[in-house]
A and B are shown apart, each in its own frame.
Chain A
Amino acid sequence: MKKTITLFLMLLCLSFASAQEKTINEITSFKIRNSGTLMDKTNNVDGYYFFYEVDKLKKGQKEYAIQILDNNLNDVATKSYVDNKNTFLVQSKFNNQALIFAMTNYKEKFYKLITFDRQANQVENIQIPVSKKEMRWLNAMKQTGNFNFLFPVDNKGFLFNYVRDNSKLGYGLKYVPTDGGTGWDYNSPEDSKLIHTLNPIEANEEVVVALEGTKKSLLSQTINYKVIVLDIKTGAFLFESKFDRKDNPRLVTNAFLTPEKNLVLLGEYFEAGDNIMKDKSLGLFSETLDLKGNIVSDSKISWVDKIDPMMPAEIDGKKKKKRGYIYFHDIVRTQKGTYYAIGERYRKTASAGGIAAMALSGGRSGNSVTQLTITNAAIFEFDEKFNLTDIKVFEKGKSRAPSITDFGSPQLNAHVLKSFGAFDYEFTQLDQKRDRFYATFIDYERLKGQKNKTAFKTVMYNAGSFSEDKIYLQEDKGRTQYRVMPGKLGNVMLLEYNKKDKTVQLHLEKLNVQ
């Protein structure tokens, strides 16, 4: 309720729908181009943005409006922005010092980084020339959902990660300081015979940690990863940790810096010669390195020896199922140094629909006869030395995704299906201050004698124990429907659609920790 002291108001409850009013509305309306969320590396939402087209201007220019909402959904600023007519806002981030917007221009072929200071003044424009091919690749990588295009470095600056068309495809990493420091660039070698990709996974006041992938060609199924560590102040290469297919294949999913300034890498390890995208991992690892690149510790936990004996069996009807596979979405580190790996269990199963389609088409159907059946959420708990201490399974309804190919491994299918959003996992939010995390999933509830229900399920870790919260996505026999999106720390944004009134209401709600 707003404070509206408009005394003795003449009330008008009118709908001016005259043609003239409509015309005026038409010539004064802003056309929305896109919108997005300002999210930091712990998936905490700092705000929201809307990008509008306002006016055509001379010389191929356009006036745009960037509307910025804070994390409480309040309007904070609507800024006018004039740029070329082919400008598109791709992403925005906040680092506690400034707000950055990454723009692309397909026709004029450049990226542009625009920053606003804390007083909402536009302070810097950085233009980076780009080829069409580079831009196409960047878009393709962004669509995988795991690509960090803009990466905020809290209270220091931003990293801008982009694709470069060298002799083969390479990468460029540009650092834009916001604390008065110096900017730098770190690029893959221009004459390299390999395709190089980069994904920053951690950055702080000391270092940038990024995962570099190399492969011979686009179709090559072998990809080698290494972790490279750069000095945040200068961009100087400090060291790398190689995880080649031949000797030491590993899939690094997370990286942290400890208070002792050691770098901790977490992920899955494989047998020498295995392909990390296709083969089944041997287990999980945690490798600690000092900032000179020396290995301080390397702990491995094998599926067979350690995990399987602790893994609760899955019961499907009366049948006891094998472990199947686990797809790890995220690994988080608590303040006391323990780790939690968040994953979902899945199995390769026969698809009744796919088989029927195949039979009906005489084997000419393009449908897969196999599918991935995604079941419960599993959270693995490790102590500070990365010894597996517990596995917690959180029940959720099964969901199914048709295999991309019937002949590939379940792991390969899972990796591809993950990029299409086939898993039920949504996101994990980390509350470093209160030492909590919130892992979120979609749950397809099937209760006997009741209609199936879809819910947004959150598994929360707080003070050493877990609890669950659930938000049903339909109410009033489907008359009200919800979509749940990330919100500020410990909250979600509910988009509530009233089918009857055709109204949409947005509200922030706190997740309930028990």
Chain B
Amino acid sequence: MAFPAKIMSLKKIYVTIIIVWLSFVQTQAQENPSNNYIPENIAALKVYLHNVNKARIDAIEGKFSSKIKKAFKKRDEKMVEAIEDSAYFFSKELDDHLSSVLKKIYVANPQINAEDFYFFVRNSMVPNAGSYGDGTFEVNLGLFTNFESEDELAFVLCHEIAHQLLQHSLKRVTKRVIDLNSKETRKKVREIKSRRYGQTKAGLSLLDELNIDMLDHSRDAEVEADSLGYLLFSKTGYKKSASMSSLLKLKKVDDMVYNYEVKLDSIFNFEGYSFKPHWLEEEISLFDIKEEINDFQLSSDTLKTHPELQFRVDRIKNNFKPDVASGALTTSLSDIHEITVPQSVQFTIDLKFLDLSIYQLVHKFNNKIIDADYYYTTMAKVLERVYIAKRDHKLGKHVPHKNSFSDEKVLNQIRLFLHNLELTEIKEIGLAFCGTNQSKITNHKKFESIYQFFKNLN
């Protein structure tokens, strides 16, 4: 592996933050978070984020260093803002599970200095993960819920750690700053500014050129992280074939995401209160077009930041030839799923993304991921929240309206349905839903209180 020099330079940074980090980790272990979104040790977390970012900034040297430092300035504050906006999920149990997977990676790869690493779990259904380049990482809830095996999760974690070890974040920013301040770019900007006519179009063309170059660099970095990630992963003892199966699974999810059919006219059709066709009625649109028209769209806007997943799978297959014949993956994520599956529904309710709540509940119930008690009680809760959001004129703030150009066809239908419903209708639906499904659940306490809420309204 060709990265010990980089690790050495990183070590210098780590020394400065290790004391704070240790105190932070200890605090995290001792304290029981008051809720799952804002941890009680947020003060220590702020100090940690400030210090890792400061350490990174202090280590930046060379040409344009002040400009690069400026780019990272206040990044820690933005992270804190995200925490305060409930973007992350804090759970000791989930941290413990994640730590056990990470521990296997670290033990197998002792060159990784992980003392200042911190993995945040983001409240997002999208199966994704990320590395901020200062030791902080993000893993979306969607990644946990979409993977079945610890092996697959471990490969993605190795990929993210590879980004960190290869300093991709810093390199990306450095490249951006160098590109922007290069003689060539400066000359082009001067030429554009001196133009009497067509300045903006010429400026957009230059921006496009710079963006395309950045995207090429970004795609190269992904391939590089796949390679180093695979090397780290191959030492862990997890099944090497998981490197390919994880990517293939993500490809499948990418094609499937938000496309599970949700039959609203059957779920919300009740004996005493039938589904009304106008709940899914659409309005005439301004234009009869299939996709948004933008005469000013840059070609870089249409390019992907990442190479195609199939290309990445083929590359791993050809370069590393992982043994796919070693049998099916045996490790399970069932313990993690016990935490992440309900949380991936819960955060959508807490953050009032109620369209996503309905989608997930139906998808998970029909696929037997959640049981009847959870489904009926939580769906009743979602209907209660829809009623409250509508009553307070806040539903549109959290649930977007239908977008004809979106490929989220099922979500579009749910959004259309939720926004077309009137307050009196959601009241009736809530009552009918509870009345119809009361007999299907065994744990009545929570359900009954929601049923009573709708009874009182009606």
Residues of A within 8 A of B (CB): 1-18, 20-21, 23-24, 27-30, 38, 46-47, 54-58, 63, 65, 68, 70-80, 94, 96, 99, 116, 118-120, 471, 488, 494, 496, 505, 507-510, 512-514
Complex Cα spacing A71 to B404, Å: 11
CB pair A9 B404 closer than 8 Å? no
Q: Tell me if B131 counts as interface (CB < 8 A to partner A).
A: yes
Nearest chain A CB to B277 CB, angstrom units: 13
Residues of B within 8 A of A73 (CB): 401
Give every chain A residue within 8 A of B396 (Cβ-Cβ): 494, 507-510
Q: A16-B71, A496-B397 are in contact. Are A21 and B180 (CB under 8 A)?
A: yes
- CB contact between A94 and one of B128, B286, B356 (< 8 Å): that residue: B286
Q: Bound state CA distance, A10 and B309, in angstroms?
A: 16
A9-B306, A471-B393 known; 9 other A-B pairs, CB under 8 Å?
Answer: A1-B356, A8-B163, A10-B131, A20-B186, A76-B292, A77-B293, A78-B294, A99-B286, A510-B419
| 11 A-B contact pairs sorted by A residue (CB < 8 Å) | A7-B129, A8-B222, A12-B169, A17-B70, A17-B71, A18-B71, A20-B181, A76-B287, A80-B295, A99-B287, A119-B288
B180 touches A11 (CB 8 A): no
Nearest A residue to B82, CB-CB: A13
The reply to whether A27 and B200 contact each other, CB–CB distance below 8 Å, is: yes
Residues of the B chain whose Cβ atoms lie less than 8 Å from the Cβ of A3? 126, 257-258, 406-408
> Which of the 9-residue segments B103-111, B171-179, B364-372 touches chain A?
B171-179
Residues of chain B lying within 8 A (CB to CB) of residue A56: 196-199
Top-8 shortest CB links A-B: A27-B203, A72-B401, A507-B396, A80-B295, A11-B130, A28-B203, A509-B393, A77-B293
Asked if A10 and B163 sit within 8 Å, CB to CB, the answer is: yes
Tell whether, in the assembled complex, residue B296 and residue A74 are in contact, meaning their CB atoms are under 8 Å apart.
Answer: no
Decide if B390 touches A512 in the complex (CB within 8 Å): yes
Residues of chain A lying within 8 A (CB to CB) of residue B446: none
Choose among A23, A63, A68, A507 the residue that contacts B286 (Cβ–Cβ < 8 A): A68
Residues of chain A contacted by B306 (CB below 8 angstroms) = 6-9
Complex-state Cα separation, A54 to B295, whole angstroms: 12
Interface pair A20/B180, CB less than 8 Å apart: yes
Contacts A27-B192, A514-B423; A76 near B293 (Cβ below 8 A): yes
A120 engages B287 (CB within 8 Å): yes
CB-based nearest A residue for B288 = A118
Residues of chain B lying within 8 A (CB to CB) of residue A57: 197-198
Identity of the chain B residue whose Cβ is nearest the Cβ of A116 in the assembled complex: B287
| B285 contacts A by Cβ under 8 Å | yes
Q: Closest CB of chain A to B350's CB: distance in Å?
A: 14
CB 8 Å contact bits of B381-422 with A (1 = contact, 0 = none): 000000000110111110011111111100000000001001
Contact B423 A512 (CB under 8 A): yes
- Contact assessment for B71 and A507 in the assembled complex, using a CB-CB cutoff below 8 Å: no
A residues in contact with B159, CB < 8 Å: 8
- Cross-chain contact B295 with A78 (CB below 8 angstroms): yes
Q: Are A28 and B292 in contact (CB under 8 A)?
A: no
A118 contacts B193, CB within 8 Å?
no
Pick the contact of B296: A10, A80, A94 (CB < 8 A).
A80
Q: In the complex, A15→B196 CA distance in Å?
A: 30
Query: Among B73-81, B265-273, B334-342, which stretch is in contact with chain A?
Result: B73-81
Q: How far is the CA of A471 from the CA of B394 in the complex (A)?
A: 10
- A5 near B126: Cβ-Cβ < 8 Å: yes
Judged by a CB distance under 8 angstroms, whether B358 is at the interface is no
Find chain B residues with CB under 8 A from A7 CB: 127-129, 247, 250, 306, 309
Which of A18, A99, A505 contacts B181, CB < 8 Å? A18
The residue in chain A whose Cβ has the minimal distance to the Cβ of B202 is A27
Contact of A38 with B286 at beta-carbon distance under 8 Å, contacts A12-B173, A16-B176, A28-B207 already known: yes
Within 8 A of A (CB), among B271-330: 283-289, 292-296, 304-306, 309
A413 CB to closest chain B CB, in angstroms?
Answer: 35
Asked whether, in the complex, the Cβ of A4 is within 8 Å of the Cβ of B126, the reply is yes
Q: Which residues of chain A are near B65, meaning CB under 8 Å?
A: none
Q: In the bound complex, do residue B128 and residue A9 qualify as a contact, i.e. CB atoms below 8 Å apart?
A: yes
With both beta carbons as reference points, the residue of chain A lying nearest to B393 in the complex is identified as A509
Contacts of A29 in B (CB 8 A): 200
- B75–A119 touching, CB < 8 Å: no
Contact A11 B397 (CB under 8 A): no
CA distance A55 to B200 in the complex (A): 6
The CA-CA distance from A56 to B203 in the complex, in Å, is 13
Choose among A30, A96, A509 the residue that contacts B284 (Cβ–Cβ < 8 A).
A96
Residue B218 at the chain A interface, CB threshold 8 Å: yes
B263 on the A face (CB < 8 A): no
The answer to the question of B361 belonging to the interface, with a C-beta cut-off of 8 Å to chain A, is no
Query: A38 → chain B, closest Cβ, in Å?
Result: 7
Q: Which residues of B contact A76 (CB under 8 A)?
A: 285-287, 289, 292-293, 405
Contact partner of A24 (CB less than 8 A), chosen from B74, B156, B207, B295, is B207
Q: Does B221 contact A (CB under 8 A)?
A: yes
Docked complex: B192-250 residues within 8 A CB-CB of A: 192-193, 196-204, 206-207, 218, 221-222, 225, 247, 250
B254 at the interface (CB under 8 A from A): yes
In the complex the two chains form, is A5's CB within 8 Å of B254's CB? yes
Residue B138 is within 8 A (CB to CB) of chain A in the complex:
yes
Give Cα distance in the complex from A169 to B191, angstroms: 51
Output the least CB separation between B285 and chain A (Å).
Answer: 6
* Complex contact B201–A54 (CB within 8 A): yes
Q: Which one of B173, B189, B424 contacts A513 once the chains associate, using CB atoms below 8 Å?
A: B424
Q: How far is the CB of A22 from chain B (nearest CB, A)?
A: 10
Closest-CB distance, B156 to chain A (whole angstroms):
7
A488 to chain B: closest residue by CB: B283
Chain A CB within 8 A of B132 CB: yes
Give B429 Cβ to nearest chain A Cβ, in Å: 15
Q: Is the CB of A27 within 8 A of B199?
A: yes
Docked pose: A4 CA to B253 CA in angstroms: 12
Contact A71 B283 (CB under 8 A): yes
CB <8 Å contact, B129 and A70? no
A505 to B295, alpha carbons, bound, how many Å? 26
What is the minimal beta-carbon distance from A296 to any residue of chain B, in angstroms?
Answer: 34
Q: Is the CB of A27 within 8 A of B193?
A: yes
**Does B72 touch A at the CB level, under 8 Å?**
yes
> Is the CB of B150 closer than 8 A to any CB of chain A?
no
The yes or no answer to B135 lying at the interface (CB within 8 A) is: no
Q: Known A1-B356, A20-B180, A28-B204; judge A6-B128 contact (CB<8 A).
A: yes
| Residues of chain B within 8 A of A510, CB atoms compared | 390, 393, 395-396, 419, 422-423
- In the assembled complex, the CB of B53 is this many whole angstroms from the nearest CB of chain A, namely 10
Whole-angstrom distance between the Cβ of B247 and the nearest chain A Cβ: 8
Write out the residue numbers on chain B whose beta carbons fall within 8 Å of the beta carbon of A2: 406
Q: Complex formed: what's the CA distance from A508 to B402 in Å?
A: 11
Q: Give min CB distance, A240 to chain B, whole Å.
A: 34
Tell me the minimal C-beta distance from B145 to chain A in angstroms.
Answer: 14
Please give, as numbers and ranges, the residues of chain B lying within 8 Å of A80 by CB-CB distance.
295-296
Bound state CA distance, A6 and B254, in angstroms? 9
Nearest A residue to B76 by beta-carbon distance?
A: A13
Q: In chain B between 52 and 73, which residues have their CB closer than 8 angstroms to a CB of chain A? A: 67, 70-73
Chain B residues whose CB sits within 8 angstroms of the CB of A99 once the complex forms: 286-287
Decide if B168 touches A65 in the complex (CB within 8 Å).
no
CA distance A376 to B418 in the complex (A): 34
* A10, A21, A73 interface centre (most CB from chain B within 10 Å): A10
Q: Kindly list chain B residues whose C-beta atoms are within 8 Å of the C-beta of A75.
A: 292, 294
With the chains together, A513 CA to B424 CA distance in Å? 7
A47 CB contact (under 8 Å) in B70, B181, B286: B286
Does any Cβ of A come within 8 Å of B152's Cβ? Answer: no
Q: How many Å lie between the Cα of A24 and that of B211 in the bound state?
A: 12
Query: How many whole Å from B419's CB to the nearest CB in chain A?
Result: 7
Q: Is B430 an interface residue (CB 8 A)?
A: no
The residue that B395 contacts in the complex, of A18, A38, A58, A509, with Cβ under 8 A, is A509
Pick the most buried of B189, B287, B422: most chain A CB atoms within 10 A of its CB.
B287
Least CB distance from A12 to B in Å reads: 7
Residues of A with C-beta under 8 A to B125: 1
> Do B207 and A10 touch across chains, with their CB atoms under 8 A apart?
no
